[in-house]
Structure 1
Amino acid sequence: MHTVIIGAGPVGLEKLNAVLGQSEQAKITVVAEEIILEVYELAERLTQVKLLKKSYTAADLHQADIVIAATNNNGLNEEIIRDAHALKLLVNVADKPDLCDFYLGSIVKKGDLKIAISTNGKSPTIAKRLKELFNDNLPGELDITLQQMSSFRNTLQGDFSSKVKKLNEVSAVLVEPAVQEFAEPAVQKTSYPKFKWLIWLTIVLSIAVLIAVFWQREPEFQAYVAGINPMFYWFLAGGFIFAMIDGAIGMSYGVTSTAFSLSMGIPPASASMGVHLSEVLSNGIAGWMHYRMGNINWKLFKLLIIPGILGAVAGAYLLSSLEHYGAYIKPFISLYTLILGGVILSKAFKVSRKRVGGKIKKITLLGLFGGFIDAVGGGGWGSIVLSSLIAGGRNARFSLGTVKITRFFIALMSSLTFITMLKSAHWEAVAGLVIGSALAAPIAAKVSNRISVKSIMVAVGIIVIAVSLRSIIMFILKVI
């Protein structure tokens, strides 16, 4: 079809892009007295776009199939409408839905897939925002699925009915995960509505208590407020990066932060305390976001929270009691992070594996074990608990949300135990991790949606293994 656009200012440019967005092969003639640079650039790139720098006349519509009036001259727009209707042509008038014979919908394109969005001219802005939403959330790989389905359809034999039946069977897998994902929370989401205010009140009060304890018990903390150690900046960057990774795959913040802290010379107990202190704020923010999105399984929360806290406090107490043996504990912690790095790496190549068996039943034991190992090793709650829940058949989205919100309380109680038990701490590392992870928490999920989860897990696994091996080798060389 041959489209004639009258007007080449910002509105004309928008209409030109709208037509080209549906097909870059569209034949378009632009008529205008003044033409902005962006329109010239489009015409240079696309030979089928023709520019006529002149005043409009009725003769400009003689070869047109459809017409778009994109001028700010109401009198000229009315003239274009009369001329077009005389030739039985349909007209779109910019920002005048009552004068339009048709509307230009927003078009979302993913290869050969096209989704058209129209508001019947009522609100182009809403159509634009919906277009952005689809563009951001529909994966580019969707076109690959489309091409594969097309190729498969061409191989089918039989009548139309049998072909449709076979295609429905093959494409059912595209719908089933979504049905499963939204099936579980219907009752759970409102299981404990009476107590949700108590949970968030506890969060606020706990953070206030934590700050008060810092100020009263730790003169070193007050000293660091006055001056910033250069190590702070290393841990600030590290905390931000590790929290971004955690937001992408729902785990590995603890193990990456601990491995990094040990490599920077931080003792195991102080490293674990720094990791858990930073997780208080970041997981509080992440937990709140998941709560707002309705991603919390309150029944699972109830089963995990108490055993997780008990395990975390016991682990933090044990590690703090062995503070004087930190040099000897460090290689064992590095060995633990080395193993977790291998687990993360192996999971990267099994993310699409189907689960076998029913849901995991012993949730309380899982919480107790996960909390203890997390405190002793400086991380592992996500790697152990979240991985086990998902592998056992739990809903991935609600498992992630529940693990995040329980992590807040576990990190809080671990931190309080460490503060009570330890005589000193590396506050520059703690402050860097706290601020860095808090800055990353609100944006981690959005950014991570654009990155391959498998790629992140492979990179994290390799880095953790390398850093852990370095710490172990350095210890062996020191002993020798």
Structure 2
Amino acid sequence: MQNTLFPVFLKTETAHFLIVGGGNVGLEKAETLLKQNSSIRLTIVATYFHPKLTKIISQHENISFFERPFEEKDIENKDFVIITTDKSEINLEVRELAKSKGIKVNAADQPDLCDFYLGSIVTKGNLKIAISTNGKSPVLARRMREYFTEVIPDNIEDNINDLNKFRSNHKGSFQEKLADLNEITSGFQKIKKQKNSKKYKQLAFTLAVSFSMLFIGYGLSTIVSISDVKYGLSHVPNEFYGMLLIGFLAQLVDGAVGLGYGVTCATSMMLLGINLPAISGSIHTAEMFSSGVSGYSHYKFGNVNKKLLLWLAIPGVFGAISGAMLLIYLGNKYVKIAYIVLSIYTMIIGIRLIILAYRKVKEKKKIGNTGFLGFSGGFLDAFGGGGWGPIVTSTLLSKGRKSNYVVGTVSLAEFFVTLAAAVTFFASLGVSHWYIITGLILGGITAAPLAAKLAGKLPQKTALLLVATLVIVFSVRILLKVF
């Protein structure tokens, strides 16, 4: 079927709309019109009014309403009619009356009765985008609206005003003005965006491959014979299987919810009595691979905000290096103190997860000090073997940001943070606990794509409470063991 729709932006100051029906659909249509113009002339006729619609009517003097069945006189002096009842005979009657008077009609979920559609609308100041699927899939149109609302920056209004001033002050001919405007706005082209996107993927892939080759090369250099390899494979300790499971579950939760990998692994390994710098070094070495796969998966699914990524990743790298160096110093000289500090730290993280689980969704607020957030998250993550997600993700979510974009951006930034920490530990300690590292890597990589697919779909509260309970219990056990 050919799409013959012609998009038109209607000035609503002089238009008078009639809505027939006051249920859920009538409420939705009224909200849509009022969102575009709160002073729009609106008349609603219905035998039932949704309580929320009644409240909206009481707040707007420009809305007239009649609680009764539709009558022929209701259509007089109306410019547009929107039908929202679930009675097909009423819908058809209203449609025929409107058609006889030359009035355009929209009938909810009945494309054959429609003269026009109310598309999903993206509004950013003077920028307005209307999206339609020709009545085939309103759900897809709504999803597209949510996508464009997120990716179009809030300060686009500044660009519009600047371009308007340039256009008004330009003294050249129409063709010269058009050429200059095309040149100025060329930075918005999709091709350029795609090129910049490829740079992120290439950088992440190159760094991951380079460090993995260094890591594997170093390991192979310490295994001088095939018999040693066979012996090692035949004597795989139980820690490998435990870390395989922990790596899978931790990455599944971390990739889907945005936190929990490091603290889960750290508390588990502390219970095994592993050296503290080796714990954080092993976790970050393994997490570098899983976070790389997770970050790429989120990028592929469109869950990454590139501007926020830079503000988190760069300071986070410096924080990770600082935290790793401090842990190396304390872990070698003050082991017992370091264990106590880290146990208390992971317990606090567990409590923070519980608070996050019961936190009410807040309205979207401006994010301040993003660089400091990235630095502190990277520092504590490297020092404690985890915490990047509980600190950074929870802070961004508390500002009302969408879960999938927060999780995706934080996951990709985590790759660079864990890479910096892993390199620092590697340079100071070399590689130890191969079986633990391998188990974490294989478990994490296996779970990463599945976790990215589930981002924003898993019950976040349940996942957070489970991780928090596990971390707190492990932290208490570690403190009891130390004392």
Q: Structure 1 residue 282 and structure 2 residue 290: aligned? A: yes
Paired letter, 1:319: L
Question: Cα 1:389–1:450, aligned 2, differ >3 Å: closer, same or farther?
Answer: closer
Q: Give unpaired runs (5+ residues) of structure 2.
A: 2-22, 28-43, 57-138, 155-187
Asked if residue 430 in structure 1 is aligned to residue 437 in structure 2, the reply is yes
Q: Write out aligned runs for 1:59-458 (5 A).
A: 160=46, 163=49, 166-167=52-53, 182-186=148-152, 193-218=194-219, 222=223, 226-227=232-233, 228-324=236-332, 325-350=334-359, 352-355=360-363, 358-423=365-430, 425-446=432-453, 451-458=458-465
Residues paired across the two proteins, number: 321
Amino acid of the structure 2 residue aligned with 1:335: I
Alignment of 1:451-470 (within 5 A): 451-470=458-477
Q: Mark the CA change 1:334 to 1:182 in structure 2 (over 3 Å): closer, same or farther.
A: farther
Residues 331 and 475 of structure 1 are in contact (CA less than 8 Å); yes or no, is this contact kept in structure 2? Answer: yes
Question: Alpha carbons of 1:282 and 1:213: their partners in 2 closer, same or farther (altered >3 Å)?
Answer: same
Shift of 1:236: 0.5
Query: What is the match of residue 102 of structure 1?
Result: none
| Amino acid aligned to 2:212 | I
Deviation at 1:180, TM superposition (A): 6.0
Q: Contact 2:256/2:452 (CA < 8 Å) preserved in 1?
A: yes
User: How far has the Cα of 1:364 moved from its partner?
Assistant: 0.8
**Residue range with higher mean Cα deviation, 390-399 or 337-346:** 390-399
Q: Match of 1:160, SS? A: strand
Q: Secondary structure at the match of 1:358?
A: coil
What is the deviation of 1:299?
1.0
- For residue 100 of structure 1, what is the aligned residue in structure 2? none
**Structure 2 counterpart SS, 1:353:** coil
Quick check: 1:286–1:441 contact (8 Å CA) kept in 2? yes
Cα distance between partner residues in 2 of 1:224 and 1:268:
27
**Deviation of the 1:167 alpha carbon:** 4.2
Partner Cα separation in structure 2 for residue 200 and residue 434 of structure 1: 20
In structure 2, what is the Cα distance between the partners aligned to 1:372 and 1:280?
Answer: 16
Shift of 1:375: 0.5
The answer (yes or no) to whether the contact 2:280–2:382 under 8 Å persists in 1 is yes
Contact 1:224 1:428 in 2 (8 A): no
Q: 1:378 to 1:182 in 2, by over 3 A?
A: farther
Alpha carbons of 1:341 and 1:197: their partners in 2 closer, same or farther (altered >3 Å)?
same
Q: What is the deviation of 1:312?
A: 0.7
Contact 2:309 2:413 in 1 (8 A): yes
Which residue identity does 2:215 align to in structure 1? F
Secondary structure at the aligned position of 1:184 is classed as helix
Counterpart contact for 2:294–2:452, Cα < 8 Å: no
> Could you tell me how far apart the structure 2 residues matched to 1:179 and 1:467 are?
44
Q: 1:168-222 CA deviation, whole Å, 9 max, x = no partner?
A: 979xxx9999966651213599685433333222223222322332244446864
Give the direction of change, closer, same or farther, for the CA distance of 1:368–1:176 in structure 2 (3 Å limit): farther
Q: Matched residues in 1 for 2:55 and 2:272: separation?
A: 55
SS at match of 1:322: helix
Equivalences for residues 5-24 of structure 1 within 5 A: none
Q: TM-score, normalised by structure 2?
A: 0.59
Decide whether the 8 Å contact of 2:362 with 2:399 is kept in 1: no
Matched-pair contact (CA < 8 Å) for 2:257–2:456: no
Matches of 1:182 and 1:197 in 2, distance apart?
Answer: 20
One-letter amino acid of the structure 2 residue matched with residue 329 of structure 1: A
- Give the Cα–Cα distance (whole angstroms) in 1 for the partners of residues 239 and 222 of structure 2: 15
Gaps of 5+ in 1: 1-118, 120-147, 153-157
Cα deviation, residue 388, structure 1: 1.0
- Matches of 1:419 and 1:216 in 2, distance apart? 13
Q: 1:203 to 1:165 in 2, by over 3 A?
A: same
* Residue identity opposite 1:183 in structure 2: T
Per the alignment, do residues 446 and 470 of structure 1 end up closer, same or farther by CA in structure 2, a change over 3 Å counting? same
Partner Cα distance (1:199, 1:224) in 2: 37
Q: CA 1:363–1:217 in 2, change beyond 3 Å: closer, same or farther?
A: same
Shift in Å at residue 474 of structure 1? 0.9
CA change 1:452–1:197 in 2 (3 A) is: closer
Percentage identity across paired residues of the two chains: 31
8 Å CA contact retained: 2:285, 2:437: yes
- 2-structure distance, mates of 1:447, 1:293: 11
CA offset digits 1:264-322 (Å, max 9, x no partner): 21222111112112221211111112211222111111212211111111111221233
Equivalent AA in structure 1 for residue 150 of structure 2: E
Could you tell me whether the CA contact under 8 Å between 2:295 and 2:415 is conserved in 1? yes
Q: Distance in 1 between matches of 2:380 and 2:229?
A: 30
Task: Report if the CA contact (8 A) 1:359-1:393 is conserved.
Answer: no
